[in-house]
Chains A and B, each alone.
Chain A
Amino acid sequence: MASAQTYVPIATQTLASSAAAISFTSIPNTYTDLVLKANLNTVASGGLLTFTFNNDSSSGLYSYTLLGNNSTTPYTAAVNNQNNVEPLNYVNYDGVSNKYNPFTMDIQNYANTSVYKSVIGYYSSDYPSNFRFSEIALSASLWRNTSAISTITLNATGSNFATGCTATLYGILAA
């Protein structure tokens, strides 16, 4: 079997000031999979996270299913024909300013123009002041478009992403 080294950081973004979105553009199509690892917070409480691909925010071609826990009972939800994916409940529920929460996306076959794009998302947060909105969330999402993904945009809704948020995009190349 061949043994080729792979798993390459493509780009990293660190917010020097608050921003409504974090975007990766001109993503090369030379890898097999993408992995995006972000550490996120919003300026104010109630901030939400959504993501889109290739600036498609109006087609209604996104759907997603969630499995999570933000209380004593796990929840699930399936949402179809959306203009974006909302892979978790809150990035910042109660306004804690120095609490950043990790969110990871695995995007397999992102450049394959024969398949719709399937994404695994996972997120965790824990709030010292309000355990009810501590959360773990696992998401399955789908973009019903066969285009190669060249842009990924993380959007903050309800409040901007806070200074210090980081996001790194990796490319994985299969043999």
Chain B
Amino acid sequence: MILPGILASGISGHLFSSNYYSIATITISGSSTTYATFNSIPSTYTHLQLRYTARSLRAAYTDSLFVEVNGDTTSYYSHGMFGNGTTAGSYSDNGNPNVIGIIASSSSLSNIFGSGVTDFLDYTNTNKYKTIRSLSASDTNNNGGGPNFRSSTWPNTAAINSLSIFTNSSSNLASGSTFALYGIK
């Protein structure tokens, strides 16, 4: 028996190859791209999963990565947990763009990219607010970063048809950053 809730999870259970589809991939080239945007996302899946490897051009060791749903810039409610080797902490962050992860940025060694997996459950269901779950990893070898776990709500019942990813600092995304969107049936 295939359980959709398990299929959607990157945390537990087993995914089945016949239910997991690649929708589109964005690869950043050059140094002048601020947004990675998926438009016209088909409504034919049950869940979406975003998998990324990303780096910011911010002049620091790390940066936060945001996602906007359907162009909405403010209406998110989220909580997170993080560990950076010094502090095991948590935070809430309401009313801002939605943080999905921590990534490496320009002060880190040049080959370090952060990675993450973000799940958008029931993304076309017009009776539900949208719950978003994110896990990310950005170890920078003793320069900050670390694991980050996020849960957030987009309090809107509209189907998700676009996702736009950008950095907290408004810095550009580094060349070689990749964002892959998958649909799960």
Interface of A with B (CB < 8 Å)? 1-9, 32-33, 35, 37, 63-68, 73-78, 80-81, 102, 104, 106, 108-109, 112, 114-116, 118-122, 138-142, 144, 146, 168, 170, 172-175
Alpha-carbon separation in the docked complex, A62 to B51 (Å): 22
9 closest A-B pairs (Cβ-Cβ)?
A: A78-B85, A67-B83, A76-B83, A140-B137, A65-B146, A7-B20, A174-B180, A76-B88, A74-B88
Q: Report chain A residues within 8 Å CB of B140.
A: 63, 142
Q: How many residue pairs bridge A and B at CB < 8 Å?
A: 186
What is the bound-complex CA distance between A3 and B135, given in angstroms?
Answer: 24
What is the CB-to-nearest-CB distance from B6 to chain A, in angstroms, rounded to a whole number? 12
With a CB–CB cut-off of 8 A, which chain A residues contact B113? 109, 115-116, 118
Number of interface residues of B (CB under 8 A): 56
Among A119, A138, A140, A174, contact of B25 (Cβ-Cβ < 8 Å) = A174
- The A interface is mostly helix, strand or loop, or mixed, namely strand
Within 8 A of A (CB), among B32-63: 40-42, 44, 51-53
Q: Which residues of B contact A35 (CB under 8 A)?
A: 10, 15
Closest A residue to B27 using CB positions: A174
B22 to A174, Cβ gap below 8 A?
yes
